[in-house]
Amino acid sequence: MPEATAPDLTAVRTYLLDLQDRICAGLELEETGSARFATDAWTRAAGGGGRTRILTEGEVIEKGGVAFSHVFGDQLPPSASAHRPEIAGKPWQAMGVSLVIHPRNPYVPTSHANVRFFVADPDGENPVWWFGGGFDLTPYYGFTDDAVHWHRTARDAVAPFGDSYYPKLKEWCDDYFFLKHRQEPRGVGGLFFDDFNELGFDQSFAFMRSVGDHFLPAYQPILARRKATACGERERDWQLYRRGRYVEFNLVWDRGTLFGLQSGGRTESILMSLPPHVSWKYDYQPELGTPEADLLTTYLKPQDWLNFSITDEPEGTQIQTNP
């Protein structure tokens, strides 16, 4: 059994604020124009506050949000205590960094990452705490080398803690980021974990830090190599249509969104994940043999990306543009 160590909330908060700064700085390096992250510091009347950083109308990032929050309260909302009746009615604290990057170029995937810490009854003799988080990738056009790189980096993030974590957290991610009402995955997955305290505080905290630290190495190379790809109206229409699925998941299924709204969180920060432009088409089906159809038939299926050869790039993924 890991040694019992009291949770160090100050250390977690310090790490999360630094992570937010590092991610924003790394993403700004990919901007080709003058757009930079603006900072919005806020307080929550019921307790706590945060620092939301938003980049809008960039030449590379159409909208990106990287938010830090540290909120607390006297009584847990239903979404947090439904599966933990022993902590119902307890005081609580929650802190984390959550981000969503919506690129302008349709050939660059949308990315999401989140690392968080939660503790109930923090001043009691036996506080109940856990870490959670992960990162996932939502492409509009599928590229095997992007998916392979993303998943290899995800594996590297958790490999120091044991070989069993990557396959378990990959499967959890595939299951979680799934639109049940559409019966389709949101993207190509990555890592997802929650209620994580099995390694004791020090090592569980190290586990969370490793996941957070691997987001930029996973996403920045993909952003760099796709951001200048030629594209036209066809690709933009498809991107806006597929963004609709992203909105549906976040508003219907995402536990973080529900927790934030039910706990009286700051609506602007909670809903920063939504894209600036989106469209819905009634019962739209892409033409067979196109890259758009290939996204659905190849990439929006759970795959063993670690053993997926880059030479296996499906025929439909060649870039086709209608400027």
Binding residues: 98, 102, 112, 114-116, 151, 181, 264-266
Backbone angles phi, psi at 113, to 5 degrees: -145, 155
List active site positions: 112
Annotated binding-site residue numbers for a divalent metal cation:
102, 112, 151, 181
Q: What tokens were used for 217?
A: 């190495």
Q: Which residue from 19, 7, 30, 79 is spatially nearest to 53, judged by alpha carbons? A: 19
Query: By the 8 A CB rule, do 100 and 65 touch?
Result: yes
CA distance linking residue 36 with residue 55, whole number of Å? 6
Q: Which residue from 103, 184, 109, 106 is spatially nearest to 145, judged by alpha carbons? A: 109
What is the Cα Rg of the chain in Å? Answer: 20
Annotated binding-site residue numbers for substrate:
98, 114-116, 264-266
Q: Which residues contact 24 (CB under 8 A, 6 or more apart)?
A: 37, 53, 55, 66
Query: By the 8 A CB rule, do 22 and 220 touch?
Result: no
Query: By the 8 A CB rule, do 153 and 166 touch?
Result: no
Chain length of the chain: 323
Q: What tokens were used for 118?
A: 């939660």
